[in-house]
Each structure stands twice: as structure tokens, then as C-alpha cells.
Amino acid sequence: MALDKLFEIDKDFYTRKWNPLEKDLGKVVFKYPIVSEEFPLYDYDWYLIVALEKADKVSTDRHLLTRELLLNYRNAIREGYNHQLDSALDGRFSYPRNKNTIQGIRSYIERIFKKQDEIRKEMLGES
């Protein structure tokens, strides 16, 4: 058995490959809008795993689960956790609370980055 294919998840919108013995050699390939290059998946990047698992709960318009949307979702989850902008994210592999729809994901991304922008403006004394 080839070690690079020890574990693989193949969904309609992404493929994830990893080897638990080589923690920083995981890979994700996004399939929409076209099959993308491999995106590295590091052991510490649980935010991307949560984004993919949560996005898998979307039941309609799955072709809209693009690389761009999923990476923005990952970034929003990371910021929501690291800067305590989402109280539902209380630890590794916590799921954000949003509807399991494309619009729910987009709204979550918008909400987190709006909160982040408000905090930045407050710190800089902007209105």
C-alpha cells in the first residue's frame, strides 16, 4: 500500500489525502470551478478540515462550493476562533453555527470579517 494514499476522502467538491505518520504532507484538491492544484494541508490547519466537513452538509448547489469560497470559509473559521469572534468555536474541530447552505456559509464569512473590521476600526480610532 502506498503511504501517500493511506487515507483519502473523495467528495464531489474536493479530495483530501493524508498520512497520519507524515502529519504535514496532507493535500486537498478542490474540484470547483475546475480541478485545482493540490493545496497543502498541514497538521495544525484544522480550520480547513472543519470548513470541508461543514460544507459537506450543504445539500443543494454544491457546485458553488468552490476553492475560493472554501478557503474564505476556512479563513473565517480561523479568525473566528483565534480572535474569539465566534463563541461556538471553543476548540479544535468545533463547528461554526451557520445554516448548511451556500448562503449560510457566505453569511458566516461576511459576519466574521465584518466583526474583525469593526474591531480594527475601534483600535485605530476610526468611525
Nearest Cα residue to 61 out of 119, 106, 111, 110: 106
Q: Is the pLDDT of residue 58 over 90?
A: yes
Instruction: Enumerate the H helices of the chain as residue ranges.
Output: 46-55, 67-82, 102-124
Is residue 30 a contact partner of residue 14, using CB atoms and an 8 Å limit? yes
pLDDT for position 3: 52
Mean pLDDT of the chain: 91
64-123 residue pLDDT tens: 999 999 999 999 999 999 999 999 998 887 899 999 999 999 999 999 999 999 998 988
Distance from C-alpha of 90 to C-alpha of 63, rounded to nearest angstrom: 30
Residues linked to residue 58 through DSSP beta bridges, in sequence order? none
Mean pLDDT of 55-71: 97
What per-residue confidence (pLDDT) applies to 1? 47
CA distance 19 to 30: 19
Residue whose entry in the numeric block shows the C-alpha cell 453569511: 107
Peptide bond preceding 33: is omega within 30 degrees of 0, i.e. cis? yes
pLDDT of residue 20: 82
- pLDDT-above-90 percentage for the chain: 71
